[in-house]
């Protein structure tokens, strides 16, 4: 690094020194040369005019003597010509051997009556001369001054610039060496700190004074490192809290990357699988259950939460698996052990079924004996009222046990439904025929809407897969409820319409309706909106719960819509055949 900085600085200094020398040579040298030439020209012009004046006035000396004396005095070559250009006298040559000078630029101007000047290089001597000519009576005079001294001075200036540049170069070498050592040490310290930070040493600092750009960079790195250290500490704290939270969970949690590798697992997950989870290993080495793997893959691909049931993770145990996508790809899966819950639920269902079954016989006996007593005795008096109460309650308890037994069998899967393709219109007609007379006797109009939304005929709807008796029981519960609680509306309508995955059937009344706070709990067992009225009407509170489980067993769904004083609509969906 030090050598690279040194050569870069040296190259910069060389460019600056060379550029400075060139600029000084071109600008100052040219200006100085122009000034010197101007001064020489001015002095030579004055001497030429004096030379011309002497030629005009001096009659005591010959022209050759005057030329020799003036040339010696001026330090220049003196020449006198006549009007035709013939050389009359010259301080350095024999006039008879010299060519005609009329065409010379400076003489041409002087013969025209003006002072002439010209600079040209002598062919014989090879050095430049400054020629100045002045007019005289019958001709002209000229002084020729050699400019070799100017060239000598220029050479001297060039030599001094070269020496100065050499000295500057030596100084530049010293400065570049010192600056490169100083700068390289500071940069190496910055690089060293950056490498330490990269390796995880977030406490590394440059600690350089911000006196220049490098110092400001070092200060910025120190501030960044401090901020990263604080952020990393916060992240580690949050990570430890999250790990503690997840490890305290009874449910097993495992995170899988987008390429199917295990990223993290809590302690419950480690306890769950006998071989323990291996980080950065394929998840299939830890869990081989196909339902689990499919849920994780679907959550990763669709970016949606997926749930499934897994029964082969641990032998004899069932798990509820919820897989949720991670922001950077992959998924996190939560495995909840349902074994104990399902065992307790099965025990509860078995208990209810057994109790209901055992109660059927004594209740039937109580109901039968009470009816026998009521029918056989004529003079019971006040005892008839008690016997009627016994009969009613025995009948109610018999219905309750029947409903409990039905619900337990449907919920446990003991009841098998024989599904077959059935046209929706036939299911509607069966329900309407069963309750037509009952509805008429209660002053309620019961009818089927033959055309659903968008003018779709019910008869044109596709067949659905259903158990006729089970669906009839669902219709019976819904129509019975509609007549009990929506009788004030005066009519009940049945219908069917297309749905996303099949056909949706509905039972609608126009009675008092149901408050919105009751709608989410309508399908819970024993839940009643109006408890007193429900008991008076003989309801057990299990009809909608039974309907819900029948729908679940068919792969469908059931829901309720209602608004106070605007009636209620119960709808259930069956899959298309």
Measured N-to-C along each axis, helices 424-441 and 468-485 cross at an angle, to the nearest 10 degrees, of 40
**Residue 409: per-residue pLDDT:** 67
235 token code pair: 């992240």
**Residue 403: per-residue pLDDT:** 67
Nearest to 133 by CA among 150, 100, 108: 108
Task: Count Cβ atoms below 10 Å from residue 553 Cβ, excluding itself.
Answer: 17
Read off the pLDDT of residues 517-545 as tens digits, 9 standing for 90 and up.
888 888 877 777 665 455 555 566 777 88
- Domain containing residue 530: CATH number: 3.30.565.10
**Residue 1: per-residue pLDDT:** 52
HSE (CB half, 13 Å, CA atoms) of 140? Answer: 29
482 token code pair: 């509609």
**Residue 84: per-residue pLDDT:** 87
Is it the case that residue 374 has pLDDT exceeding 60? yes
* Residues 313, 394 share a domain: no
Q: How confident is the model at residue 352 (pLDDT cuts 50, 70, 90)?
A: low
Of 126, 152, 178, the residue that ends a domain is 152
Buried b or exposed e, range 108-118, using 16+ CB within 10 angstroms: bbbbeeebbbb
* Residues 553, 532 share a domain: yes
* Stretch 116-144: mean pLDDT: 84
Per DSSP, what are the bridge partners of residue 229?
Answer: none
Hey, which of 202-216, 345-359, 450-464 has the most confident mean pLDDT? Answer: 450-464
**Residue 111: per-residue pLDDT:** 86
**Residue 555: per-residue pLDDT:** 87
Task: Count Cβ atoms below 10 Å from residue 403 Cβ, excluding itself.
Answer: 20
Is it the case that residue 413 has pLDDT exceeding 70? no
**Residue 191: per-residue pLDDT:** 77
Q: How confident is the model at residue 133 (pLDDT cuts 50, 70, 90)?
A: very high
Nearest to 95 by CA among 72, 119, 66: 66
* Residues 407, 441 share a domain: no
Of 152, 175, 204, the residue that ends a domain is 152
Buried b or exposed e, range 140-162, using 16+ CB within 10 angstroms: bbbbbbbbeebeeebeebeeebe
202 within domain boundaries:
no
What is the distance between the terminal CA atoms of the chain, rounded to a whole angstrom? Answer: 79
Is it the case that residue 5 has pLDDT exceeding 60? no
- Whole-number percent of the chain with pLDDT over 90: 4
Q: How confident is the model at residue 253 (pLDDT cuts 50, 70, 90)?
A: confident
Is it the case that residue 124 has pLDDT exceeding 70? no
Is it the case that residue 327 has pLDDT exceeding 80? yes
* Residues 570, 548 share a domain: yes
**Residue 330: per-residue pLDDT:** 86
211 within domain boundaries:
no
288 within domain boundaries:
yes
**Residue 218: per-residue pLDDT:** 77
CA pair distance 194, 205, nearest whole angstrom: 9
191 within domain boundaries:
no
* Residues 107, 20 share a domain: yes
- The angle subtended at Cα 15 by Cα 14 and Cα 17, nearest 5°, is 65
* Stretch 69-74: mean pLDDT: 86
CB 480 within 8 A of CB 473: no
Q: How far is CA 540 from CA 26, 390, 397, 514, in A?
A: 115, 17, 9, 18
Q: Which residues touch 168 (CB under 8 Å, ≥6 apart)?
A: 13, 17, 20
Of 389, 412, 435, the residue that ends a domain is 412
* Residues 391, 308 share a domain: no
* Bigger pLDDT: 530 vs 429: 429
* Residues 426, 404 share a domain: no
* Residues 568, 451 share a domain: yes
Read off the pLDDT of residues 26-39 as tens digits, 9 standing for 90 and up.
665 666 677 777 88
- Domain containing residue 378: CATH number: 1.10.287
Q: Which residues touch 468 (CB under 8 Å, ≥6 apart)?
A: 420, 422, 427, 430
Is it the case that residue 204 has pLDDT exceeding 60? yes
188 within domain boundaries:
no
**Residue 151: per-residue pLDDT:** 65
* Residues 537, 466 share a domain: yes
- Tell me the backbone φ, ψ of residue 77, rounded to 5 degrees: -90, 130
**Residue 506: per-residue pLDDT:** 92
CB 439 within 8 A of CB 483: yes
* Stretch 431-460: mean pLDDT: 82
Is it the case that residue 103 has pLDDT exceeding 80? yes
Read off the pLDDT of residues 279-320 as tens digits, 9 standing for 90 and up.
888 888 888 888 888 888 888 888 888 888 888 877 778 888
- Tell me the backbone φ, ψ of residue 317, rounded to 5 degrees: -130, 145
CA pair distance 408, 431, nearest whole angstrom: 24
Is it the case that residue 367 has pLDDT exceeding 80? no
371 within domain boundaries:
yes
* Residues 349, 472 share a domain: no
* Residues 254, 139 share a domain: no
CA pair distance 333, 293, nearest whole angstrom: 10
Average model confidence (pLDDT) across the chain: 79
Could you write out the DSSP letters of every residue in 118-185? EEEE-TTT-SEEEEEEEEETTEEEEEEEE-HHHHHHHHHHHHHHHHHHHHHHHHHHHHHHHHHHHHHH
179 within domain boundaries:
no
Number of structural domains found in the chain = 4
**Residue 516: per-residue pLDDT:** 81
Please give the model's pTM, rounded to 2 decimal places. Answer: 0.46
Q: How confident is the model at residue 507 (pLDDT cuts 50, 70, 90)?
A: very high
- Domain containing residue 323: CATH number: 3.30.450.20
Read off the pLDDT of residues 40-55 as tens digits, 9 standing for 90 and up.
888 888 988 888 888 8
Q: How confident is the model at residue 377 (pLDDT cuts 50, 70, 90)?
A: low
**Residue 412: per-residue pLDDT:** 64
H-run or E-run covering 20: helix 2-23
* Residues 256, 380 share a domain: no
Count helices and strands in the chain by DSSP H and E runs? 14, 17
**Residue 570: per-residue pLDDT:** 92
Is it the case that residue 476 has pLDDT exceeding 70? yes
H-run or E-run covering 379: none
408 token code pair: 């337990």
Q: How confident is the model at residue 210 (pLDDT cuts 50, 70, 90)?
A: low
227 within domain boundaries:
no
Q: Which residues touch 30 (CB under 8 Å, ≥6 apart)?
A: none
For 46, the domain range is 2-152
Per-residue three-class SS string for 317-347: CCEEEEEEECCCCCEEEEEEECHHHHHHHHH
**Residue 137: per-residue pLDDT:** 87
- The angle subtended at Cα 159 by Cα 153 and Cα 163, nearest 5°, is 145
378 token code pair: 């004529």
**Residue 270: per-residue pLDDT:** 79
């Amino acid at each position: 690094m030090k050598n690279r900085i040194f050569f870069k600085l040296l190259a910069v200094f060389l460019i600056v020194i060379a550029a400075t020398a060139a600029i000084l040579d071109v600008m100052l040298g040219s200006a100085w040369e122009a000034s010197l030439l101007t001064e020489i020209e001015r002095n030579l012009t004055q001497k030429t005019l004096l030379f011309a004046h002497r030629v005009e006035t001096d009659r005591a000396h010959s022209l050759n003597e005057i030329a020799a004396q003036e040339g010696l005095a001026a330090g220049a070559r003196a020449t006198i010509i006549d009007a035709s250009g013939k050389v009359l006298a010259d301080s350095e040559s024999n006039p008879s051997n010299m060519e005609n000078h009329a065409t010379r630029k400076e003489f041409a101007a002087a013969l025209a009556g003006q002072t002439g000047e010209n600079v040209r290089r002598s062919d014989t001597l090879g050095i430049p001369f400054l020629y100045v000519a002045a007019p005289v009576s019958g001709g002209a005079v000229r002084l020729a001054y050699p400019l070799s001294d100017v060239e000598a001075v220029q050479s001297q200036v060039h030599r001094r610039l070269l020496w100065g540049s050499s000295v500057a170069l030596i100084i530049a070498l010293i400065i570049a060496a010192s600056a490169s050592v100083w700068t390289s040490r500071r940069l190496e310290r910055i690089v060293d700190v950056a490498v330490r930070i990269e390796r995880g040493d977030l406490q590394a600092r440059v600690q350089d004074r911000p006196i220049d750009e490098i110092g400001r960079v070092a200060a910025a790195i120190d501030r960044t490192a401090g901020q990263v250290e604080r952020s990393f500490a916060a992240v580690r704290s949050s990570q430890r809290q999250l790990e503690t939270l997840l490890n305290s969970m009874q449910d097993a949690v495992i995170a899988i990357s987008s390429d199917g590798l295990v990223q993290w697992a809590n302690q419950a997950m480690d306890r769950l699988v006998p071989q323990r989870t291996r980080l950065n290993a394929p998840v299939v080495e830890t869990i081989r259950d196909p339902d689990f793997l499919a849920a994780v893959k679907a959550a990763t691909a669709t970016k949606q939460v997926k749930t499934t049931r897994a029964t082969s993770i641990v032998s004899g145990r069932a798990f509820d698996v919820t897989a949720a996508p991670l922001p950077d790809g992959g998924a996190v899966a939560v495995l909840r052990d349902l074994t104990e819950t399902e065992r307790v639920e099965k025990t509860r269902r078995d208990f209810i079924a057994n109790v209901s079954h055992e109660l059927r016989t004594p209740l039937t006996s109580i109901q039968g004996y009470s009816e026998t007593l009521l029918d056989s005795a004529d003079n019971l008096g006040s005892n008839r009222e008690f016997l009627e109460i016994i009969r009613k309650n025995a009948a109610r308890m018999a219905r309750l046990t029947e409903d409990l037994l039905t619900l337990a069998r449907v919920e446990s899967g003991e009841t098998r439904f024989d599904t077959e393709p059935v046209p929706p219109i036939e299911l509607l007609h069966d329900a309407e025929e069963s309750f037509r007379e009952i509805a008429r006797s209660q002053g309620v109009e019961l009818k089927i809407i033959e055309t659903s939304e968008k003018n779709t005929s019910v008869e044109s709807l596709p067949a659905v897969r259903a158990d006729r008796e089970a669906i009839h029981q669902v219709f019976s519960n819904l129509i019975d409820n509609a007549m009990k609680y929506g009788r004030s509306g005066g009519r009940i309508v049945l219908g069917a319409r297309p749905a996303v995955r099949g056909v949706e059937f509905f039972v609608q009344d126009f009675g008092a309706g149901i408050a919105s706070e009751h709608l989410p709990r309508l399908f819970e067992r024993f839940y009643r909106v109006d408890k007193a009225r429900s008991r008076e009407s003989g309801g057990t509170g299990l009809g909608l719960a039974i309907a819900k489980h029948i729908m679940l067993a068919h792969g469908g769904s059931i829901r309720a819509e209602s608004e106070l004083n605007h009636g209620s609509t119960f709808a259930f969906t069956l899959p298309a055949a």
